[in-house]
Amino acid sequence: MNQPLVSVRAVSKHFGEGPARVDALRDVSLDVMAGEVVGLKGPSGSGKTTLLNVIGCIQEPSSGQVVLGGETIYDGGWKTRDLRRMRLERIGFIFQSHNLLPFLSVVENVALVLLLADRSRAAATARADELLDYLEVAQRRNAMPSVLSGGEAQRVAIARALANHPRIILADEPTAALDSDRARIVMDLLRRVAVENEAAIVTVTHDEKIFSRFDRLISLRDGRLDDSPHQVALAEQSR
């Protein structure tokens, strides 16, 4: 039986205590398989980004279990000593704002991730060029981020996220700043990555124009997964 690449079990996350306590996640369980593209939707404050940050080991849960690639990462406490190294090697992050470093060229932005992982400059540059070609933006390798279109910048950001061959990719509103055509291109690229690299992709989105591009579309409300009949029907339609 195939194991999920991402497994979240009964995860809760709260901020503050007493009357000021805010429950951002409440007993959330979720599995994401290799090759699957899952969308997280819901109103602002529903817990979508918090769940993404918990999966990405950026925020520590208050309770529950997080298993990534078959390894228990959190269970009442962190089970790995070097979270920074684990994130660098296993997880790719894509954000609404591409966050490219403005003083580095396109190829340097992508190669930087590999240099931080102690790869040689030659190997880092070769991998960066491979990804830029794969994502059809190789012609911009020497350009600075300031001259890229929105779609080009997002493709470079995806290349950077893929640099270390992660099998878990987390995207926070990756198409919010793009028009319909560019949003479709980005989602098609993510699906291609999921299938060809057997990666699990979890995407937070409010963008209704891409809802149909997900294998599953999951709704959160008040920190809980929405399992209402309407939401179950929506999830079935998106499969």
Task: Name residue 217's beta-bridge partners.
Answer: 39
- Placement of tokens 């403005």 in the chain: 102
Count of helix runs (H) and strand runs (E) in the chain:
7, 10
Q: Please state the rounded mean pLDDT for residues 61-79.
A: 94
Q: How confident is the model at residue 35 (pLDDT cuts 50, 70, 90)?
A: very high
Sign of CA dihedral 183, 184, 189, 190: positive
Q: How confident is the model at residue 231 (pLDDT cuts 50, 70, 90)?
A: very low
- pLDDT value at position 177? 73
- pLDDT value at position 229? 37
Say yes or no to pLDDT of 127 above 70.
Answer: yes
Q: How confident is the model at residue 32 (pLDDT cuts 50, 70, 90)?
A: very high
Q: What is the mean pLDDT of the chain?
A: 88
**Alpha-carbon span 19 to 219, nearest angstrom:** 27
Q: How confident is the model at residue 192 (pLDDT cuts 50, 70, 90)?
A: confident
Say yes or no to pLDDT of 227 above 70.
Answer: no
In this prediction the pTM is 0.85
For residue 161, what are its two tokens?
Answer: 């996220």
Q: Please state the rounded mean pLDDT for residues 185-201.
A: 88
Distances (CA, A) of 186 to 96, 175, 231: 12, 7, 25
| SS3 assignment, position 225 | strand
Strands (E), 21-137: 22-32, 37-41, 63-68, 71-75, 91-95
Say yes or no to pLDDT of 77 above 70.
Answer: yes
Domain residue ranges in the chain: 6-237
Distances (CA, A) of 130 to 60, 111, 170, 239: 35, 11, 21, 31
Query: What does the pLDDT look like over 93-121, one tens digit per residue?
Result: 988 777 899 999 999 999 998 998 889 99
CATH of domain 6-237: 3.40.50.300
